Chain A
Amino acid sequence: MDIEQKQEELIEYFVKQAETHKGASLANVIVEATSHSSLFAFSEILSVPNIVQLQGTEHSVYLDMLRLFAHGTWNDYKSSAGCLPQLIPDQIRKLKQLSVLTMAEMNKVLPYDQLMQELDVSNVRELEDFLINECMYAGIVRGKLDQLRRCFEVQFAAGRDLRPEQLGSMIQTLTNWLATSDNLLLSIQDKIKWADTMSELDKKHQKEVEDRVEEVKKSLS
């Protein structure tokens, strides 16, 4: 069962929680959601009116926290730690998991050095244990660890919440893919036509040769 199906129920649960809570208890809902080990998507919760109304109130830092989990990375948190609530270990782990997903959005081959810098990890063993236990075994990425080339080759990565500005490039990629697929289908059809034509010509040539053989036989006899 892929990650989206797994977290669908969780999203519904936290959206309902957000709709029925206000103020300080809403902040708790946000902390609970950003700590839950199986939740990696926060856009739906972010769009609940009660959450949006936190803006400008004494709890707006929790709205900022939720936005960080929807689109930010561990480095983003570190650079603005002063104006965000202290994260608990479960939140830190999740933000680092989400950071791996963000890196996987840009590249399919993630260098260890970049991963270690991004995740604040000091050695290969610790990095690989994180990628194995918290990412691959959590089902958010699939891939292979290459120690010789010191990189992590990503075969699959769960999608993070999209920022509005990402839509354009996504549509562009889909358009390119569609065009490539159409061209591929066209060239396959051309190949099929070419093959048919060639086989017709071969058959015709073969027939001519056989007729010629017959003629020669007759003339000999």
Chain B
Amino acid sequence: ENSLLRQVSSLLRRLPAIESGKFQDDFL
């Protein structure tokens, strides 16, 4: 199922959900 594979591939690229410096400060 190529379409599914493309969707999963796109999904995985959304990880990590956020990685900005500002987020680290807020998260801590």
Residues of A within 8 A of B (CB): 4, 8, 11, 41, 43-44, 47, 104-105, 108, 153-162, 166-167, 170, 173-174, 177
Q: How many residues of B contact A (CB 8 A)?
A: 15
Residues of B within 8 A of A (CB): 2-3, 5-15, 19-20
User: What secondary structure prevails in chain B residues at the interface with A?
Assistant: helix
Once A108-B19, A177-B15 are accepted as A-B contacts, the answer to whether A41 and B10 lie under 8 Å apart by CB is no
From B9, B14, B19, B20, contact of A162 by CB (8 A): B9
Q: Report the number of A-B residue pairs with Cβ-Cβ less than 8 Å.
A: 54
Q: Does B6 contact A161, Cβ atoms closer than 8 Å?
A: yes
Q: Does A105 contact B9, Cβ atoms closer than 8 Å?
A: yes
Q: Does A161 contact B2, Cβ atoms closer than 8 Å?
A: yes
> Which A-B residue pairs are the 8 nearest by beta carbons?
A159-B6, A159-B10, A159-B9, A43-B2, A162-B5, A173-B12, A44-B2, A4-B3
